[in-house]
Amino acid sequence: MARADWRRIPTVLYPQEILDKAFRKASRQSDFVEDPDKYHRVRKQMDRMVQSAADVIDSTLLKWVDRWPSLNALSQFDQALIDAAVGNDKYRKSLGTIQWAAEQVRKIAGETQRKILRLRNIEGFHQARRHAYGRFSSILDQVSPQILWLGEARDILRLLPSLDPSEPCIVVAGAPNVGKSALISALSSGEPEVASYPFTTKQLHLGHFEHRRRAYQMVDTPGLLDRPMPERNRIELQAIAALEHIGDVLLFLVDSTEGTTTPLDQQERLLGEVSQLMSERPMIVVHSKSDIIENLPEGAETPISAETGQGLEELRSRLIEVIGADDVGDPLSLPENWHRNE
């Protein structure tokens, strides 16, 4: 599965800039035409101008379309994020429209070439060239909303978190302010990346640590797995389903300190909902802010503190063990139903 890297998509030119670039190049090309006979020279020049302008427009548009990942090639998680952030339909249609524009430009260039072949006078050649230029610019005018839309979409998408679906991923859930972001920072090697989530105005934290050459990713879930489920919209549900796919383990934080923002019974209800939603995935429940916990609720054995580091290494080992990415089994053992037929 590809990983979307929006930062690698170049800025597209404004429609007028594409035209300017195309027409400039076309004029330069026509200067290279040499023919002592004016009739033939102009005919070749006008033909060359139309073809090279079309080449520039066509290749600029197609090169850009190419750099956008095809939605189907992306992970479900990325697809859900893109849908929530800019809309998958709009995304597909805009790219389709730009591709259509490139085809039209090609077609116009072909028609003009055939027309110039049929014409028999110098003024006609000029006219055919002017006519083609006019059509190029009206095509670009027509698709300029889509070009501008994609430019804006790119700026939004580059703020989204990018997760590598081929590496393990830990989804960190829990009510607001229980310490999810602080824990991700504490477990991360280096500063966690701050990204935006289309579901919330809050920032999302994305961290990772390495173990045996694998990058264990950790992702926050503000606005998704931190409030009661019933009032979810379609896109949020989709994102939750996607999280379930991409996450190898769910780490749920409970804040049982005096100062908790969300009362314990509500946190327990949330835990119940989240564990139902992610029933396919192993879940680890920890009590955060152990440095200020006065009395740990009964049965709660895993206090951790992002502040003092208490319990963090144990937690890290447990996560690695539960994910089991390193379990390759015994390479010498044979499948149970294996028979040697010699």
Residues forming the site for ligand GDP (CB under 6 A):
174, 176-182, 288-289, 291-292, 305-307
DSSP E strand stretches across 176-227: 193-196, 203-211, 214-220
Reading the block at residue 242, the tokens are 């996607």
Smallest gap from residue 221 Cβ to ligand GDP (A): 9
Phi, psi (5° rounding) for residue 281? -110, 145
Comparing CB distances to ligand GDP, the nearer of 18 and 195 is 195
291 binds, among ligand GDP, Mg ion, none (CB under 5 to 8 A by kind): ligand GDP
CB 165 within 8 A of CB 1: yes
Comparing CB distances to Mg ion, the nearer of 75 and 181 is 181
Binding site for Mg ion (CB under 5 A): 180-181
Comparing CB distances to ligand GDP, the nearer of 179 and 207 is 179
Q: Which residue is nearest to Mg ion (CB)?
A: 181
42 binds, among ligand GDP, Mg ion, none (CB under 5 to 8 A by kind): none
Smallest gap from residue 194 Cβ to ligand GDP (A): 12
The rounded distance, in Å, linking the Cα atoms of 208 and 220 is 12
Comparing CB distances to ligand GDP, the nearer of 60 and 290 is 290
Smallest gap from residue 254 Cβ to ligand GDP (A): 11
Comparing CB distances to Mg ion, the nearer of 168 and 207 is 207
Residue among 218, 204, 174, 238 nearest 323 (CA)? 218
Smallest gap from residue 175 Cβ to Mg ion (A): 11
165 binds, among ligand GDP, Mg ion, none (CB under 5 to 8 A by kind): none
Comparing CB distances to ligand GDP, the nearer of 68 and 197 is 197
Q: Partners of 220 in the beta sheet?
A: 172
Q: Distance of CA 108 to CAs 14, 126, 175, 194, 334, Å?
A: 21, 15, 59, 47, 65
CB 224 within 8 A of CB 145: no
Q: Partners of 214 in the beta sheet?
A: 211
Smallest gap from residue 225 Cβ to Mg ion (A): 12
Smallest gap from residue 181 Cβ to Mg ion (A): 3
Smallest gap from residue 168 Cβ to ligand GDP (A): 21
Smallest gap from residue 277 Cβ to ligand GDP (A): 18
Comparing CB distances to Mg ion, the nearer of 52 and 181 is 181
182 binds, among Mg ion, ligand GDP, none (CB under 5 to 8 A by kind): ligand GDP
Q: In the chain, which residue ranges form alpha helices assigned H by DSSP? A: 15-31, 38-67, 76-85, 88-118, 122-157, 180-187, 234-246, 264-277, 312-323
292 binds, among ligand GDP, Mg ion, none (CB under 5 to 8 A by kind): ligand GDP
86 binds, among ligand GDP, Mg ion, none (CB under 5 to 8 A by kind): none
Q: Distance of CA 235 to CAs 55, 56, 82, 83, 323, Å?
A: 40, 39, 10, 7, 27
| Torsion angle (degrees, nearest 10) of CA 233, 234, 240, 244 | 160
Q: Distance of CA 89 to CAs 93, 160, 239, Å?
A: 6, 18, 16
Comparing CB distances to Mg ion, the nearer of 201 and 341 is 201
111 binds, among ligand GDP, Mg ion, none (CB under 5 to 8 A by kind): none
Residue listed under structure tokens 């934290």: 205
238 binds, among ligand GDP, Mg ion, none (CB under 5 to 8 A by kind): none
